Amino acid sequence: MVMLNNNLRIFIAAAELESVTEAAKKLYISQPAISQAIKKLEDELSVKLFIRSKRSSLKLTEVGKDILALAYKMADLENRLYQIAYDVNHLTGGTVRIASVPLGVSLIISHVLPEFKKRYPHVQVKLLEGNPLEVKSMVLNYQADLGISTSPYMGLAHKILLSDRMVSINKDKALSLDLKDCSSELLLCRVAYESISEQLSGCDIDLSHSFVVEAASTQINMVQEGNGPGIISELMLSTIPNKLACGTVEPNIEMEISLVAHNFADMPNAAKEMAKAILDNTSIKNK
Averaged confidence pLDDT in the chain: 89
Residue 88 has pLDDT above 60, yes or no: no
Q: What is the pLDDT of residues 202-226, one digit of tens each?
A: 787 888 888 999 999 999 999 999 9
- Find out whether 67 and 45 touch, Cβ atoms under 8 Å: yes
- pTM value is 0.71
- Among 8-12, 91-95, 181-185, the range scoring the smallest mean pLDDT is 91-95
Residue of higher predicted confidence among 22 and 182: 22
Model confidence band, residue 181 (pLDDT cutoffs 50, 70, 90): confident
Pairwise CA distance, residues 158 & 146, whole Å: 10
The 10s digit of each residue's pLDDT in 23-43 is 999 999 999 999 999 999 999
Rounded to 5 degrees, what are φ and ψ at 278? -65, -45
Report the DSSP pairing between strands 245-250 and 157-170: antiparallel
The pLDDT tens digits for 109-168 are: 999 999 999 988 888 899 999 989 999 999 999 999 999 999 889 999 999 999 999 999
Output the DSSP codes for 236-249: HHHTS----EEEEE
Identity of residue 275: A
Any idea where the domains of the chain sit in the sequence? 1-91, 163-254
Quote the strand ranges of the chain, DSSP E.
Answer: 50-52, 58-60, 95-100, 124-129, 146-150, 157-170, 176-178, 187-189, 211-213, 230-233, 245-250, 254-261
Q: Tell me, what's the pLDDT at 93? A: 63
* Percentage, residues of the chain above pLDDT 90: 66
The correct answer on CATH 3.40.190.290 for the domain covering 163-254 is yes
Instruction: Return the CATH class of domain 1-91.
Output: mainly alpha
Q: What is the pLDDT of residue 55?
A: 67
Do 250 and 179 form a contact (C-beta atoms < 8 A)? Answer: yes
Determine the pLDDT at residue 199. Answer: 86
Q: Using one digit for the tens of pLDDT, what is the confidence trace for 45-72?
A: 999 999 987 666 899 999 999 999 999 9
What pLDDT, on the 0 to 100 scale, is given for residue 211?
Answer: 93
**Confidence (pLDDT) at 44:** 92
